[in-house]
Structure 1
Amino acid sequence: MADKILSKNDNKLASLTLDRNIPTPKEIPQEHSYLRRVGRPLRHVKYIPTKSLIFYSVNKPPQFSYEKKIKTPIAKDRLVVQVTNVGLNPVDLTIMNSYTKHMNREIGIGREYSGVVSEVGSNISQQWRQGDEVYGIFFHPNLGDGAAQSSILVNPSQDVIIPKPANLTFQQASGTLFTLGAAFNVLDKLESKGQLNESSNILINGGTTSVGMFAIQLLKYHYRVPKKLVVTASEFGATLLKSHFPDLCDEMVFVNYVTNARHLAKPLEDMINNREVISYDAQTGQPISTPYDQGKFNLILDFVGGYQLINHSATLLAKNGAYVTTVGDYVHDYKKDIFNAWNNPSANARKMFGRLLWTFDYSHFYFDPNAKYASGNDWVNKCAELVENEVVKCVIDKVYDWKQFSDALAYLRAGHAHGKVILKVEKF
C-alpha cells in the first residue's frame, strides 16, 4: 500500500508514511491517592466506677466485681444513688437458689437499700437533688441487678425510692420498705375485702419474721384491732417481741411453736375449746393458765409456711374466715427454695379452687414492689408516712460489713433471724 502511494509521487502522502526518529513520549508522573487510617477524635465519655457483690450460680460462692460501670451523663429520667446500707431478705436466697448452673453473667444481691443521691437526670431535677438521703427498693430478680453495689442507677418510674426522714438511720431505712410494703399490702387487701375489721380475731404464724413484726405493729398501731393477737414464736422470740414492743405485752398471746413443732394446731385447738392459754414459767417450769375467750380465728396470717394449720382449718378458722400465706404449703427451706411463684402446686390449686371446696378464703400472697403498680393503693406514700410518724419501726437483728457477706448469708439461710440482716456498704 505504501509503494502505491509513493509511486504517485505525492509528497504530502510520502511525508505521512515515512518513518521518523521521534523519541517516545515520556510518562507523565501522577500522584496516586490512598485511603489512610487516622485517629478518631477523642470523645469525653466518663463513667462512675462501681464495686458490686455478685454471684454466678448457687454452687459458686459470691464475690466482688468491678466490671459494672455507670455511664455519664446519665439518662434524663434516671438518678444515681451512692449506697450506704443494704437489707437482706429471704427472697435473695431463693433467687440465688434459682441459678443452679453457671450462666456466665453476674447476678446481683440485695433488693432494698439506703443511700445518698449523687447524680440526677435533667427531667427529674426538680424532684431530686444531689445529696438527698433516700431509701428504696431495687427489685430486678429476672435482670440480675442487685442493690449491693457502691452505686446504683435508679429509674424512679419503676424503682420505689423515697426521701429518708431524719428520725430514721441509714441502717433502719435499708431494712424497712420491702417487708413493710409486703405487710401493708397484705392487710390493705384484706381490709378492702371486708376481712379485716374491729371484730377480727387474728393468728400470726411467724411473729418474729420481719414481715410478721411489721404486721403486728400495723394491726395494733395503725388498724387499732382491739382483740389480742395470737402469735406463734419461740420462747426467745416472744421475749424479743416483748422487749421491742413493751406496750403490746398484754395485747399478744404467745404459742411456742418449738415445743409444738409437729402439732402446732393442737395447743391452738385446746386454747379455743378450753378457753384458756397454757404457758410455762421460765424459772420454775410451772404451767400458767390465762383466760382466752376470743373463739375461732377470722384471719390467719402465715409467714412461715406449712400444711399444719390448713389441715385443721375447720377447728381453727371461723366460717367465711381468711387464710393468707406468703410462703405456701411447704415450710420455708432457704437452702432449697427457689424464686418461682408456681413451685407450690397444692397451694396454687387451693388458690384457684379453694372456694369450691372450703368455707374459708385462701390466698397465696406475692408482693411485687414495682413502682408502677403502687398507685393502686398508694402504699409507698402511706408506708413513708407511717415510718416518718414513728407508727412502725424496723427491728434490726444483725449488721455485717459487706466483706462479711458469707456470714450474713449463712445466718439468713439458717432461718434464725429475728428481724432484719443488714450489710454496710463501703465507699468506692
Structure 2
Amino acid sequence: MAEKILSNKDPKLEAMTVDHKVPAPKEITVDEPTLTRVARPLRHVRHIPVKSLVFHSKNGPLTFSYENKIKLPINKNKLVVQVNYAGLNPVDMKIKNGYTKPLYGEAGIGREYSGVVTHVGDNLKDIWSIGDDVYGIYYHPRLAVGTLQSSVLIDPRVDPILMRPEHTLSPEKAAGSLFCLGTAFNILAQLKEKGQLDVESNVLINGGTSSVGMFAIQLLKRYYKLSKKLVVVTSGNGSAVLSEHFGDLKDQMIFINYLSCRGKSSKPLRNMLETGKVVDYNDFNTLKETEYYTQGKFNVVLDFIGGYDILSHSSSLIHTKGAYITTVGDYVGNYKKDVFDSWDNPSANARKMFGSMLWSYDYAHFYFDPNIKIISKKNDWIHECGKLLNEGVVDCIVCQVYSWKDLKEAFSYMATQRAQGKIIIKVEGF
C-alpha cells in the first residue's frame, strides 16, 4: 500500500513553495537563568533555660546569671540533669582565687551534685531514663561551668554519674559524696597497689574532720580492715564529732588535738612514740588522760591539712619505705589565698623528683582528677564507691545545708575552714 502511494506522488508538488504575506513572528528573547540569595525565614531555637551562680573575679560578688542555656535537641551521647543539691569543695575556692581580675567573663562554681534526669540523648535511652534520680561529679575547672545551676549537661563517657539509691542515700548526702570519697579511695588504692598498705599498716591522718579525712577513716577500718588504731590529728571538738558519727570506730582511733599543741602536732606525736604513752592535752600543758601506745612509727601518713611540721620530723615518725601523701602541700591550706593548680615549693618538688633517693620514704602530692578516661582505666572506683555508699560501708557526713538565699553565709563559713563535713547548697528550680 505504501509503495502505491509513493508511485502516484506528483513531482511538481515537491518543488512548490508558498510565500506568506505576513512576516514571521519575532524571536522571544529569554534571560539567562541565575540564582539569587534570599533571606531565610526565622527559626525558633528551642532551649532549656538555666539559672547559674557565677562570679567574675576573686574579690567580686557571687551573682545569678541566665546566660547559659542548653540547646535542644541535646547531643545523642549526653544527659540533662536538673540539679537539686550541690556540694562545695576547697577546689571551688581555689578556682575562684585564680580569677584575680574580671577579664574572663563569668565563671560557675560547684563540682558535684544530685538531681533528676530531664533529657536523654538518643544513644543513652537504653541506659538512662527521664526521671532517674542521679548523683555525680562535673569536674571541668577550666571551662568556667559549675554545678550550682538549675540544670547541667552531662557526658557519662567523661563525667562520673550514678543512680541514687533512694532508700539508703539522701539527695543531700549524695551531692557531697563522690568527690571526697573518690579522692580517699584512689589514694588508698594506689598505696595498696604499691604494697604500702595492708591490714598491719600503722596510719596517721592529719585532718580527721575534713571530708576526705572522714572517708579515709571509714575506708581504712571498714574496707581495708586495718587492725591497728588510727592516729588522727584533729582540732577542737573533732574527737567528739568523729566519735559521735563513727560510734563503731571510736575505740579504734587515737586523737591528737591540733589546737592544744598550737599547730605543732609533731611534738605530741614524737612524745607518744618515745614514751609509749598517748597524751591528750587540755591546754597544751595540762595532762588530761593517758593510755599506752605500742604501734611504733607510721607506715603511712595522710595529710589533708598541709604544712611542714610533720615532714620536718619525718625521720622519727615515718618508717623506712613508708609513704607520705598530701592533698595540700608544704603550706597549711588557706582557702582565702590558695590558687588551683599552682606550683609546689622547691623542697616539695625535690621530694617528688628524687623520692627515696634522698628520703627513706615515698612522698606524693595527690591531685584528684575524676575524669573517667584518666582514672577508670586503672580501677572502677566510681561503681565501687557507689556500692560502698549503697551498702552503708561509708557515710557522707553533712555539716550544713544552705539555701541559695544564704550563699554568702555558706561561702563565708567554708572560708573559715572550720566545717566538719560537707557544706551542701540547695539549688532552686528555674
8 Å CA contact 2:54–2:108 kept in 1: the answer is yes
CA deviations on 1:24-46 (whole Å, 9 max, x unpaired) are xxxxxx99x99998653242420
Q: Distance in 2 between matches of 1:253 and 1:124?
A: 48
In 1, distance between residues paired with 2:206 and 2:280?
Answer: 17
Comparing 349-358 with 300-309, greater Cα deviation is found at 349-358
The residue number in structure 2 matching 1:140 is 140
CA distance in 2, matches of 1:280, 1:306: 21
| 1:195-247 deviation per Cα after TM superposition (whole angstroms, max 9, x unaligned) | 00011001000000000000000001100001000000123111100000111
Name the counterpart of 1:400: 402
Measured in 1, the distance between the counterparts of 2:306 and 2:358 equals 21
CA distance 1:277–1:408, change in 2 (3 Å): same
One-letter code of the match for 2:334? D
Which SS does the other structure have where 2:96 is aligned? helix
| 1:385-422: CA deviation from partner (whole Å, max 9, x where unpaired) | 10111100100001110222111111111111100000
**Aligned partners of 1:234 and 1:241: how far apart in 2?**
11
Alpha-carbon distance, 1:279 to partner: 2.1
2:52 alignment counterpart = 52
Q: TM-score by structure 2 length?
A: 0.89
- The answer to whether 1:293 aligns with 2:294 is yes
Listed one character per residue, the Cα deviations across residues 70-97 of structure 1 (whole Å, up to 9, x for unaligned) are 0000010011000000000000000000
SS at match of 1:278: strand
CA distance in 1, matches of 2:83, 2:367: 27
C-alpha distance in 1, partners of 2:290/2:59? 50
The answer to whether structure 1 residue 411 and structure 2 residue 393 are counterparts is: no
| Higher mean C-alpha deviation, range 88-97 or range 346-355 | 346-355
Aligned to 1:204: 205
Matched residues in 2 for 1:202 and 1:185: separation? 16
Q: Decide whether the 8 Å contact of 2:257 with 2:281 is kept in 1.
A: no
Match of 1:330 in 2: 331
For residues 262 and 342 of structure 1, the distance between their equivalents in structure 2, rounded to whole angstroms, comes to 24
The unaligned stretches of length 5 or more in structure 2 are 1-29
The code of the aligned residue for 2:427 comes to: V
Could you tell me how far 1:335 is from its partner in structure 2? 0.7
Rounded to whole Å, the distance in 1 between the matches of 2:277 and 2:415 is 36
Partners in 1 of 2:353 and 2:215 — Cα distance? 28
Q: Which residue of 2 aligns with 1:257?
A: 258
- Match in the other structure for 1:27: none
Q: Following the alignment from structure 1 to structure 2, what is the Cα–Cα distance between the partners of residues 343 and 65?
A: 35
Structure 1 residue 249 displacement after superposition: 1.2
| Aligned amino acid, residue 415 of structure 2 | R
C-alpha contact 1:304 1:327 (8 A) present in aligned 2: yes
Once residues 100 and 272 of structure 2 are traced to their aligned partners in structure 1, the CA distance between those partners, rounded to angstroms, is 45
User: How many positions carry a matched residue from both structures?
Assistant: 399
Give the letter aligned to residue 242 of structure 1.
S
Query: Partner of 2:237 in structure 1?
Result: 236
Q: Is the 8 A contact 1:399 1:423 kept in 2?
A: yes
Percent of aligned pairs with the same residue? 54
Aligned partner of 1:123 in structure 2 is 123
Q: CA RMSD for the aligned pairs?
A: 2.1
Distance 2:212 2:263 in 1: 23
Counterpart of 2:182 in 1: which secondary structure?
Answer: helix
Matches of 1:375 and 1:87 in 2, distance apart?
26
Task: Give the distance between the partners of 1:252 and 1:341, measured in 2 at CA.
Answer: 34
Aligned pair in 2 of structure 1 residues 281, 407: CA closer, same or farther (>3 Å)? closer
Equivalent residue, structure 1, for 2:353: 352
The one-letter code of the counterpart of 2:402 is Y
SS across alignment from 2:152: strand
Closer, same or farther in 2 for the Cα pair 1:262/1:211, shift >3 Å?
A: closer
Contact 1:281 1:288 (8 Å CA) reproduced: no
How far apart, in 1, do the equivalents of 2:174 and 2:47 lie?
Answer: 28
How far 1:314 sits from its partner (Å)? 0.7
Matched to 1:420, the amino acid is K
Letter in 1 for 2:301: I
Q: Which residue of 1 aligns with 2:43?
A: 43
2-structure distance, mates of 1:132, 1:388: 16
Partner of 1:21: none
- Name the structure 2 match of 1:221: 222
Q: What SS does the corresponding residue of 2:400 show, helix, strand or coil?
A: strand
Matched position secondary structure for 1:134: strand
Which letter maps to 2:59?
Answer: N
- Could you give the per-residue CA deviations for residues 362-393 of structure 1, whole angstroms, max 9, x where no partner exists? 11111110011223111001101101111001
Contact 1:94 1:334 in 2 (8 A): yes
Q: 3-state SS of the aligned residue for 2:237?
A: helix
Give the unaligned 5+ runs of structure 1.
1-29
AA matched with 1:220: K
Deviations 1:275-324 (A, max 9, x none): 01122579xx7631111110111110000000000000011011111111
Task: Tell me if 1:98 matches 2:93.
Answer: no
Partner of 2:303: 302
Mapped to 2, the partners of 1:155 and 1:293 lie a distance apart of 50
What is the CA deviation profile of residues 315-360 of structure 1, one whole-angstrom value per residue up to 9, with x for unaligned ones?
Answer: 1011111111011100001111000152433212211113211111
Alpha-carbon distance between aligned partners in 2 of 1:139 and 1:104, rounded to the nearest angstrom: 19
| Kept after mapping to 2: 8 A contact 1:348/1:364 | no
Q: TM-score, normalised by structure 1?
A: 0.89
* Inter-partner Cα distance in structure 2 for 1:87 and 1:175: 5
